[in-house]
Each structure stands twice: as C-alpha cells, then as structure tokens.
C-alpha cells in the first residue's frame, strides 16, 4: 500500500532553505534494508520513519537514516516529523509527541510564536587539542578545540572564518571520526554563535542545519557566554537558525520552525 511521504525544510520558515528531511509515515514495522534503500533514494541528509505506537497519546517510534547509515540522533528530522504530525492533524495543536528512538525518549511540543520545542539529550564537551589532520582537512586555523560525543569541534577566530571554510571532504573522511564541526562567536546581529557541520564519512559532506550538533554547541556556548538562552545560526549555503535553551541539566531544548515543501506517496 502507498505510504504518505513528505519533504520538510527544518529550522526555517522559508521554503527551500534550512535542512530538508524526508518523512515516511509507516503503518507497520518495516525492514531495515528497505528503509536504508528509501533513504538512499531520497538522497537527503536524513530520512525519518515514523511508526505509530499509541497515536492517541502521541507515541511513535522514530528512526533516522542518512543515504548510507542509520544514525542515533537527528534533530532536524525530529523537528520535521513533529511538524508533519501537527500539520496532518495526527497531533492536535496542544498535544506533544513522544518519540522512542535510539537516543531514548525525545519529546516535541508547541512553544510560543509557532515554534516547535524539542527536548534532546545534552552532549557534554571536553577540551581537545585540535588534530593536525582534522584542521588540515578543514583548511582553517583553529583557536580552540573540543569534543562532543567524539566529534571534533573546532573553534575558529570569527564568523567570517567559519563562512570561509572550504574542507577537503575526501581528506576529512579519512580522519577519526570522519566528521567535524566548526564554530565561532556570531557577528551577524541577533545571533550569539555560528557553526557549520561536516560529515563526509556518513554520506553528508555538509549538513545544512544540524540539531544534534547543538546538543554540544549549546552547553559549550552557554557556559562561555554565561547565558541559558542563545540564538544559533548555521551558516551553510542554505542556512538555518534555532533557539537553544540550557539549564545545566542533562537535557537541551532546541526551538525552531519547519515548512512542508511537498507531500506525496511512496509507492515502492
């Protein structure tokens, strides 16, 4: 039977910007190989698969696949999934969604100004001496380094340096773990910090807007700037923005918007 299929731009309210995710609404459990094949066909940074567990209380299983692998956490496809559930009326305007995932239970609900608020696990960071192979692959001079969940976070001098970064993706894919985040304080008015996220080993040379990276970047910059609410701008070619709230706990709230680009049916 055909399955509902949506493409949603996340962390934006402007179509054709932000981070696109494909959302498939399942009516039964599905084979892992089939889901991976669908994600490869969609060829977006992530394709999400939603399986109802108890729709009356907003409970769903949620899984995310890049074109090449299943991942443990994906922020933008979680935001996009909740957006689809609200937009199609599966969730009422005041209900929240509870997603059972490889990263535990994730909750999404409506916040002020039509924002969607995601409750995600915080990713504590530790100081790290930038690896020469990583910085060479990124092609920028680091002024500091951190690791969150094993992923190198390279601090650059300023927003302009983040925007100028032109990684050698083939070289970066050979480093450990084959991905990197670059970040700096923002110079764009209205924002606190900027970032870009590269993951060539996982089939994503540059992710347009990355929710999961802000589980580490949020606590890092909150401590640096001694603030609990920050406005983050990811300065990829498509660009996107979110609000990050931290309270010193093991959770992070990411708030953003999403917009549906098309809806159809998956026939294969």
User: 176 catalytic, yes or no?
Assistant: no
The Cβ-side half-sphere exposure at 226, using a 13 Å CA radius, reads 0
Both tokens assigned to 227: 């603030």
What SS3 string covers the chain?
CCEEEEEEEECCCCCCCCEEEEEEECCCCCCHHHHHHHHHHHCCCEEEEEEEEEHHHCEEEEEEECCCCEECCCHHHHHHHHHHHHHCCCCCCCCCEEEEECCEEEEEEECHHHCEEEEEECCCEEECCCCHHHHHHHCCCCCEEEEECCEEEEECCCHHHHHHCCCCHHHHHCCCCCCEEEEEECCCCCCCEEEEEEEHHHCEEEECCCCCCHHHHHHHHHHHHCCCEEEEEECCCCCEEEEEEECCCCEEEEEECEEEEEEEEECC
Q: Which of 41, 46, 70, 126 is catalytic?
A: 46
Would you name the residues annotated as active-site residues? 46
């Amino acid at each position: 039977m055909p399955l509902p299929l949506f493409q949603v731009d996340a962390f934006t309210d402007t179509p054709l910007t932000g981070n696109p995710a494909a959302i498939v609404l399942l009516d039964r459990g599905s084979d892992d190989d089939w889901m991976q094949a669908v994600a490869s066909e969609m060829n977006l940074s992530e394709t999400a698969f939603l399986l109802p567990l108890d729709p009356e209380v907003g409970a769903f299983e949620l899984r995310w696949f890049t074109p090449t692998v299943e991942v443990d956490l994906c922020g933008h496809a979680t935001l996009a999934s909740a957006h689809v559930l609200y937009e199609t009326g599966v969730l009422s305007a005041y209900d929240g969604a509870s997603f059972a995932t490889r990263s535990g239970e994730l909750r999404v609900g409506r916040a002020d100004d039509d924002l969607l608020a995601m409750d995600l696990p915080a990713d504590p960071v530790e100081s790290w001496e930038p690896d020469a192979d990583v910085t060479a692959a990124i092609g920028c001079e680091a002024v500091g380094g951190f690791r969150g969940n094993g992923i190198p976070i390279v601090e650059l001098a300023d927003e302009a340096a983040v925007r100028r970064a032109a990684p050698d993706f083939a070289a970066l894919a050979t480093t450990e773990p084959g991905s990197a985040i670059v970040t700096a304080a923002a110079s764009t008015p209205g924002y606190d910090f900027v970032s870009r996220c590269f993951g060539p080993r996982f089939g994503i040379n540059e992710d347009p807007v990355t929710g999961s990276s802000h589980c580490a970047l949020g606590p890092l910059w909150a401590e640096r700037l001694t603030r609990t609410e920050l406005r983050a701008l990811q300065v990829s070619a498509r660009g996107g923005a979110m609000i990050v709230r931290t309270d010193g706990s093991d959770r992070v709230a990411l708030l953003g918007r999403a917009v549906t680009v098309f809806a159809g049916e998956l026939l294969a």
